[in-house]
Structure formats: C-alpha cells, structure tokens
Amino acid sequence: MTVPKRIGKIRFGLISPQEFRKMSVVKVITADTYDDDGFPIEMGLMDPRLGVIDPGLRCRTCGGRPGECPGHFGHIDLVAPVIHVGFAKLIRKVLRAVCRECSKLMLSDLEKKEFLRQIRTLEELGQPTEDVVNKVFAEARKHKVCPYCGAPQGEIKFERPLSYIEDGHKLTPSDIRDRFERISDEDIMVMGMNPETARPEWTILTVLPVPPVTMRPSITLESGQRSEDDLTHKLVDIIRINQRFQENREAGAPQLIIEDLWELLQYHVTTFLDNTVSGVPPARHRSGRPLKTLSQRLKGKEGRFRGSLSGKRVNFSARTVISPDPNLSINEVGVPLEVAKELTVPIMVNPRNIEVVRKYVMRGPDNHPGVNYVTRSDGRRVKITERNCQEVAQQLEFGWKVDRQLADGDIVLFNRQPSLHRMSIMAHRVKVMPYKTFRLNPAVCPPYNADFDGDEMNLHVPQTEEARAEAEILMRVQENILSPRFGGPIIGGIHDYVTGSFLLTHKERRLDREKLMEVIKKLDITDIPEPAGYDENGDPYWTGKQIFSLILPKDLNLTFKADFCSNCPVCKGEDCENDAYVVIRDGVLLRGTIDAEAVGAFKGKVTDRIIKEYDPGVASQFLDRMTLLALRGIMLAGFSFGISDEDVPKEAAEQIHDVTRSAKESVQKLIEAYRAGELEPLPGRTLEETLEMRIMQTLGKARDSAGQIAGRYLGLDNSGVVMAVSGARGSMLNLTQMAACVGQQSVRGERIKRGYTDRTLPHFKRGDLGAEAHGFVESSYKKGLSPTEFFFHAIGGREGLVDTAIRTSQSGYLQRRLVNALQDLEVNYDGTVRETRGMIVQFKYGEDGVDPSRRDYASPDNVHRIIRKVLAGENA
Amino acid sequence: MKRFAVQDHELVPEHILLTPEEAQQVLEQYGVEARYLPKIHVTDPVAEEIGAKVGDIIKIKRKSPTAKESIFYRLVID
Ligand SMILES: [Mg+2]
Ligand SMILES: [Zn+2]
Ligand SMILES: [Zn+2]
Ligand SMILES: [Zn+2]
C-alpha cells in the first residue's frame, strides 16, 4: 500500500539543460518510431527505455509492466538554441534591463540593494513580489547608457511572435543566451529570480526533453496501421529539422539557408509547446486539423486541470431527460428499464445470499433484473450472456462478486447541475419504469431547481455498503426536506398541488360518497370519518377539510394565517370570513384553507411542523399523500386557464380607461405646473427629479387602481385568481397586467429616457414629457399593445433579461470563490470548525453551534410550545 | 502625541491575556497544540496594549449576532 505523504513545499523554477540531461534516459537521434516488425527503434521516439505501453513488454529502464511504469523522459540535443515561447515576455524584459556589452543590470548599486531588500521583505511576508520586480525592470530600462561600462544601449523592439530587433538587427537566440549567461547571480536576484533554480538563459532551450511514451501512446487502428499521437508527430518534425540543420551546417551551407532552418526549428519547438501562439500559424495534421500540443492538453475546459482533474467522467452513472410523475414517492426516482439494465450493483456472494444471487445470475443479462458480469475470487471477470448464465450460476462460489442490474429499491444519487447547494444531490430509491426519461415527483423540483422543459439529470449508483449507508442516512430526500439555508421545508407542493389543496379545502366543499372514494382511492387510507352531514335527499356528504385531515398526524396542533390571507387591518382570527385563518386541532383541519403557506415549497408550515414534531419519515409520507390528494382535488374540481379568463366586463374596462385617462391628465397638469415654475421641489431633489418622481407615482397609482378594478370583477371563480391567491403560480400583478393595464416600463428605475435627447420616438413631439412618450403602457396584454407601447415594453423587457444574465454569471463566480475557500472545512464532534490540517477556524460552529435547519426560525414561540407540551405530558 | 487605548473603541472586542494555566486549560479543552489556534501578531495594537508576548494565548470576547457573545482564542506569534 502506498503511504500518504505530506507535501512540505512546492518550488517553481526553470529546468537547466544539465538537469534535462540528467533526467533523460536516452538521447533521441532518429525520427523513426517502429521498425518493419513493429518493434520500437532504439534511440528513436519510441525507444523502450522511455517506458512501455504495449502489453507483454517490460520497461527497459525500470522493468515495470504497462501500467506500472510511469514512463521516463528522453532528450533531444538542439543544434542551435531556440526561444521557449512561454518566456517571450520575460526575455524581452530582461533584454531591455541588462547592458548589451557587459550584461550588468543597469541600476546603481544602491538601487539594487534597496530593491533587493524590498523583495526579501515581501518574500518573508509571503506576499507577491511582482510589483517591485516590475519596477526594477522599468527603472533599468530607462538607462540609455550603461552605468558600468558606458556602452550606449540600443532600442530593443519586440516583433510578434518571437523576434527581438536591436538597432535593426535581429538578435539570434544564441546572442540572447550569451548575454543572459553573463548576468551575475546578484543581478538575477534583484530581478526577482533565484539564480539557483531559475537562471534567465534557461528560458532559451538548448536541450529539449522528450516526453515519455506513456503520455503520447500510439494507437493501432483496426487496419493494423499505427497512428501516432500529436506530440509524437511534432517531435518527429523537430528531430527531422534538427538533423537537416546539422547536416547543412556541417556542409557549410550559406547563411541564408542556415537562418531559414533555424527559423523552422524555432517554429516546430514553439508549436510543440503551444499551438495557439498568435502570429504563428498552427501546425496541422494531414487532414487539416490543428495538432493538440502540450499547452492545449492543459488549457481550458477540456484541458487536464478543468477536464481531467477537477472533474471527470465516471462509471456507474446515467444521464437523461426528466419528466414528472406524481404517483412516485418523493423518495423515489423512476429509472428507464434500459438504464437499469446497464447500471449494476456489486453483490459479494456469501452463504446467506448465494441462492438468491444464483437466481439473478440464471436470469442472464437480458431478463431484468439480471446480472451483467461475475468476478471470480481470482479476479477473473466473466461477461454473463444468455448462453453461459446457467453454467456460471451453477459454478457460483462464496467470495465471488456479482454485478446485479439496478432494481426497484436500490439506492442511487440523483443530481442536477449546477450543483449549488447540498440538496442538488440527493439519494432516491429506484423504481424501474418503461420509456426513456427519469421520473420524479414534482414536489422535489424546488431543491434541484428543475422543471420539465427539457432539463436533464444525472444518476449515480453507489458501489459499496459504506457509500449506500451514507447516502441513505444523510442524503435521502426526506432527510433534506428542511433546508439549512432558511430552516424551513424546501420540498413541498408547487403549482397544481397548491391549487388542488386550495380547491379541496376552501370553504365547505361537499363531496358525496362516490367523490370521496374517487379522491382517496390512491391513498393507503381505509378508515373513513363520520359524514359531515346529510343533504336534502338524506345522502351523506363529507367536506374537503375532513378529507385533508385524513393525511394529518392524529395529534397535530397548529394555527397560522394562510398565504391567501388579505392581511385585514384587524385579523378576526378563527372567524375570518375569507377562510384564511388555518386551525388544526388534534390532527383535524377545523378552519382555514390549505394553500402554499401550509404545504408549498419554501413555506409549508404544516410540513415544517410535522417534520419538527415527528420525523422525516412522517413528513415524507405526508408529502406523498398530499401530492396524491391534491391532484385528485384539482381533477375533481376541473381546472384550466385560457385567454377568456383575462376578460373583464365592459363596465370594468370603461372604469379602467377612466382611471388611466385621468392619470394621464394629472401627469399633463404636473408637466404644466413644472413648465410654469409652480412645482414645489421635494426635499433634496431637483425640480426635474421631483417631476419624474411625481409622474412615476401618479402612473403607478393608476396601474394599481386599474388592477383593483379588474380584481373586483375577477373573483375566486377565475382560475388565474385561484392560482395567484393560493400561491400556486403568478401574482395579482401578473393578472392586472394581463387584464387591466401593463403599466410604466422602466430602465434603471426611471421612465424610458436614457440615451434619448428630446424625444424617444418620432411619433412624439420634441420635449414631450407626457406619459405615452416615456413608456407608460396603458393597454393590457389581453387588449394588445400599440406599436409605441410595444417598443417601450421591449426596452423594459430587455433590461430584465440582461440583469438576469449578469446576475447569474456574477453570483456563479462568487459562489465558486466561496466554495473553493470553504470546501475543506469540517464541523468536528466538539463543535469546532477545523480545516484539513486541524487548524481551528471557529471555536463553535456559527458562533452559537446551532444547525440552522433545526433552529425552528429561532422563535421564542416555539420554546413556549415545547414547554406547554412537556407540561401537558406531565399532567396527563 | 496623545495615546489612547484601542480597546476603548466600540468595534474592538475585549482581549484578555491568559495565564499559562488558563492557556493550558484551553489547549486541553480543544485537544490541540498551540500552533493549531488562530494567530495574532505581537505587533498587533491590541496585543501590544495588553502586553502579550510570543507564545501567549489571548482570549477574545466578541459580540455575536447569533450567540450574543462568542469566545475566540488566538496564539501570539511574531
Ligand atoms: Mg428547464
Ligand atoms: Zn519504466
Ligand atoms: Zn555595460
Ligand atoms: Zn384574516
């Protein structure tokens, strides 16, 4: 076993040519890879000393088999030095800072001493030295004459990608290297480098390391042809040019040819390191595809860091579209049969389960739930087929591992990106189903922030007992009903669940025996309460409140105001004529309407009380039954919303028109008063600001009263109102905009005027300050917008879109930084918060050591309730 | 120059220098060596004010919105 090691420190520097040679196991001199028999050629790019990838062979350096041998570096001796692209900027800075003759850093000794001192202090404090170092380069560059030898300095021009031009002459990498070699250790330290680990001349390559074959394996195509890695292709180019260069130089070729070849060598080494340098045409494959070279392997989303280390693809996972299924428990997830046949759970065969496991194996892979693979004690894996399943089943022994297909009741992790909080991954029980989507109860949409407009989700199958236990105890949906964010239930009714509960429980909804049965037939309830009364025919009837009481725990006591409460100036409490004051006594809903405030996600007072007073199991059962009941409730009543639901009677339309017209008139009066200089400025405001505020106020009021007029004609017989009032979806404002008046459009909280001079559109007179000219939309959505209104509405609408786009990206980045800083912190059993080294961050979690999801809104009311309960228990 | 006490400012919580015995007790309570505690520089104005030396432990009583008062310990370093 490998022993975990603690990393003491990491030091970054440059590798010297000596070090490159030292770590090299072979000097590569030939561009060939394999010989005709398919064996790697010695001193070639696939030299067996560089590591092994072919099965059956052993590494000539370490003796390891493929997989064991990490691979070993070789090297190429470059005929002439070339610049390392990554250091182009540093080379430019150093070139400009040192003397062309004596290679001294062009600063006075005193300055050098002072800068060095500053750098040392910053280093000791563990702070970045970048600013000081930049100052060093900036100061040294100012000298036109060397303060040491007096040599006049030429201007050094940098031309993309890699040319340094001094007095019209291009400096060769050799020239630069020569200059850098003569820089003293002291000067290097002033430039912020450590001469022992990073000398400036090491940025000019004379030796090129050849990466081990393990990081550039060749693949054999079906045709038997070998296909080499992009890096190998690039190395071949480098070696070829290197060879030609040497031959030409030895043959005494003309300077022009030598320069061309040098340039070419530089090009190949550059693209080997980075194939996206601007100004350098990317090296391409024969097919025209740009090669993926070293820096492309690391950079970006698909690169080694973000693509392979921070996140990677995993086994035992599945992804598909989600769709709703209210008949599932909130703890369940519907898994398509096709997925269930692919994913497996390992079972270790033992004396207790061998007969059961044997039955699974005998089913084969096609007969769900069957078995896909069997692993024997010696580690040999057998794929189960229709043909061998009987045979393998008979051979089964203790200690074998059987990969059983996913079946009902297995525990899996279910996830939707972006995983912003811990409820983004929860554990569900599998329910294998036909068709191709994952199914979930819509009540669990809020924690995932999922909807069904094409959202996809991921599913993972835990593979060990420990993982399964942990998932079941900590990650089950029912364990996550309470959100640690606000201490209330994040899981609960949405949309039709809320509407359904509302319709079922509002006022006195009477159901005869047949309807009662219809509503509760999906529930596991067998005891029917006494009828609430008998109708004129003498037939018994039950109320919706009675039926809802069936799913409440028998000793639940709770009173609260419904979402639907209109916040009357004096609350009449239990006598509320709107039926908005909920009273639950001993598990019976006596008064009030069940709406979003009672069972909705994020609110759910009833859910909240049940989970805190009983346990998550009771709460999840309540939610399961509530979802079934609510849907029956809505189906019983029948519920739809259409364009005609936005209609208001003629007299209402006239009243609304009167309101908007008089509002526009008073806006005109305000403008006239302003023009006449009669407007009184509000404290701290200019006259113009005052006018704008008064206009906004007037028009805002007009929209509100238009809404009120519409509201008077839209009662609870309107399904839009039912949804808005119960908290299921939408608001009265939405309805107002649809039925009465859309209202003022705004940009940055002002009327539409930003970016315009004199007028917003040619439809208006210059200098018009009136309501229509600055984005007041008098029409309703139902009526339709006039062309100018439509234009202003588009302006206001776009601001909303831009805001959301900006907000999500900003909050996403903020979240990333926060999570990166906090992810390894841990709350210990003694209540302290510590990081991985054991350093204490907080002596008590959150300073008070309280889990926010159990805090019960930190209300003293709840303490009183508990005391009352305890006292009642003692008296009984 | 007029000297003033930083601890008199309402935003500076109360800092108390622990005796070696008290310090030992704190370390035992949390089962850690002193180096696992949060740090404070000797040159910190408050540390100077209460005369802390390197290796001492300072107890800080902070006002907390969640717990009214929260206790914090910091090791004096240089
Ligand atoms: Mg969606
Ligand atoms: Zn090896
Ligand atoms: Zn000089
Ligand atoms: Zn009321």
Mean pLDDT by runs of 10 across the 876 residues of chain A is 78 92 92 82 89 84 87 94 94 92 91 93 86 93 88 87 88 93 93 92 95 89 83 94 94 91 94 92 90 91 86 91 95 96 95 94 92 92 91 92 95 93 95 96 95 96 96 94 90 93 90 90 86 89 92 89 82 82 91 91 90 91 94 91 89 90 90 87 88 90 88 88 92 89 89 89 90 90 94 92 88 87 92 92 90 75 79 72
- Whose structure tokens read 């939610």? A623
Q: How far is CA A440 from CA A71, A271, A604, A666, in A?
A: 48, 50, 20, 54
8 Å CB contact between A583 and A592: yes
Radius of gyration of chain A (CA): 38
Q: Residues near A137 by Cβ (< 8 Å), separated by ≥ 6?
A: A93, A94, A96, A97, A191
Domains in chain A: how many in total?
5
CA of A194 to the centre of ligand 3 (A): 22
CA of A139 to the centre of ligand 3 (A): 15
User: Can you list the positions of beta strands (E) in A434-576?
Assistant: 438-440, 456-460, 510-512, 533-534, 540-543, 558-561
Same-domain check for residues A95 and A77: no
Q: How many CB atoms lie within 10 A of CB A783?
A: 17
Which residue of A830, A833, A835, A848 to mutate against B (max B Cβ within 10 Å)?
A848
Task: Provide DSSP, A234-261.
Answer: HHHHHHHHHHHHHHHHHTT--HHHHHHH
Predicted pLDDT at A2: 65
Dist CA A660 CA A705 (whole Å): 9
Residue A843: closest C-alpha in chain B: B72
Nearest CA to CA, how far is A420 from chain B (Å)?
A: 25
Same-domain check for residues A518 and A612: yes
Same-domain check for residues A73 and A218: yes
Nearest CA to CA, how far is A7 from chain B (Å)?
A: 18
Q: How many CB pairs below 8 A link A and B?
A: 36
Q: How far is CA A400 from CA A377, A380, A389, A461, in A?
A: 5, 10, 15, 20
Find, among A200, A211, A252, A272, the residue nearest to A70 by Cα: A211
Q: Inter-chain contact A840–B66, Cβ cutoff 8 Å?
A: no
State yes or no: ipTM above 0.90.
yes
Q: Measured in whole angstroms, how far is the alpha carbon of residue A647 from the centre of its chain?
A: 42
The answer to whether residue B1 scores a pLDDT higher than 70 is: no
Residue A842: closest C-alpha in chain B: B72
Q: Inter-chain contact B66–A847, Cβ cutoff 8 Å?
A: yes
Dist CA A741 CA A663 (whole Å): 12
CB contacts, 8 Å: A841 with chain B: 38
CA of A449 to the centre of ligand 1 (A): 8
Nearest CA to CA, how far is A126 from chain B (Å)?
A: 14
Domains and CATH numbers, chain B: 6-77 (3.90.940.20)
Same-domain check for residues A328 and A295: no
Q: Inter-chain contact B30–A846, Cβ cutoff 8 Å?
A: no
Which CATH number covers residue A563? 1.10.274.100
Which of B36, B62, B70 is nearest residue A838 as measured by Cβ atoms? B36
Identify the domain containing residue A194 by its residue range: 85-204
Residue type, A334: G
Q: Residues near A862 by Cβ (< 8 Å), separated by ≥ 6?
A: A856
Predicted pLDDT at A858: 62
Which CATH number covers residue A457? 2.40.40.20
CB contacts, 8 Å: A831 with chain B: none
Dist CA A335 CA A440 (whole Å): 9
Residue A855: closest C-alpha in chain B: B66
Residue A430: inside a domain: yes
* Residues above pLDDT 90, as percent of chain B: 78
CA of A391 to the centre of ligand 4 (A): 73
Task: Describe the crossing of helices A173-181 and A88-97 by its angle, rounded to 10 degrees.
Answer: 60
Nearest CA to CA, how far is A197 from chain B (Å)?
A: 29
Q: Inter-chain contact B66–A838, Cβ cutoff 8 Å?
A: no
- Whose structure tokens read 């070849």? A261
Dist CA A686 CA A869 (whole Å): 61
A634: exposed, middle or buried (C-beta count within 10 Å: 0-12, 13-18, 19+)? Answer: buried
Same-domain check for residues A43 and A116: no
8 Å CB contact between A502 and A493: no
Q: How many CB atoms lie within 10 A of CB A404?
A: 21
8 Å CB contact between A500 and A593: no
Dist CA A348 CA A847 (whole Å): 46
Which residue of B26, B36, B59, B78 to mutate against A (max A Cβ within 10 Å)?
B36
Residue A6: inside a domain: no
CB contacts, 8 Å: A849 with chain B: 67
8 Å CB contact between B49 and B13: no
Which CATH number covers residue A234? 4.10.860.120
Residue A144: inside a domain: yes
Dist CA B70 CA A845 (whole Å): 10
Tell me which H or E stretch contains A704: helix A687-713
8 Å CB contact between A226 and A105: no
Same-domain check for residues A508 and A560: yes
Residue A162: inside a domain: yes
Same-domain check for residues A277 and A329: no
Same-domain check for residues A748 and A782: yes
Residue A187: inside a domain: yes
Q: Inter-chain contact A839–B66, Cβ cutoff 8 Å?
A: no
8 Å CB contact between A153 and A106: yes
Task: Describe the crossing of helices A719-726 and A732-739 by its angle, rounded to 10 degrees.
Answer: 150
Residue A869: inside a domain: no
Find, among A351, A357, A411, the residue nearest to A384 by Cα: A357
Q: Inter-chain contact B36–A843, Cβ cutoff 8 Å?
A: no
The answer to whether residue B3 scores a pLDDT higher than 80 is: no
Which residue of A847, A848, A855 to mutate against B (max B Cβ within 10 Å)?
A847
Q: How far is CA B76 from CA A538, A836, B5, in A?
A: 86, 22, 19
| Chain A contact for B38 (CB, 8 A cutoff) | yes
8 Å CB contact between A501 and A549: no
| Chain A contact for B39 (CB, 8 A cutoff) | no
CB contacts, 8 Å: A830 with chain B: 30-31
| Chain A contact for B76 (CB, 8 A cutoff) | no
Residues 810-869 of A with CB under 8 A from B: 830, 832, 834, 837-841, 843-844, 846-850
Q: Is the pTM for the entire model greater than 0.90?
A: no
Q: Inter-chain contact A847–B38, Cβ cutoff 8 Å?
A: no
**DSSP single-letter state for residue A308:** I
* Torsion angles phi and psi, residue A540, rounded to 5: -75, 150
Same-domain check for residues A354 and A462: yes
Which residue of A840, A841, A842 to mutate against B (max B Cβ within 10 Å)?
A840
Same-domain check for residues A198 and A149: yes
Which of B31, B32, B67 is nearest residue A847 as measured by Cβ atoms? B67
8 Å CB contact between A397 and A408: no
Same-domain check for residues A447 and A356: yes
The answer to whether residue B59 scores a pLDDT higher than 90 is: yes
Q: How many CB atoms lie within 10 A of CB B46?
A: 18
Residue A774: inside a domain: yes
| Chain A contact for B36 (CB, 8 A cutoff) | yes
Same-domain check for residues A500 and A589: yes
Sign of the torsion formed by the C-alpha atoms of B32, B38, B44 and B45: negative
Q: Give the 3-state secondary structure of residue A761.
A: coil
Nearest CA to CA, how far is B38 from chain A (Å)?
A: 6
Find, among A610, A600, A621, the residue nearest to A856 by Cα: A610
Tell me which H or E stretch contains A166: strand A163-166
Residue A872: inside a domain: no
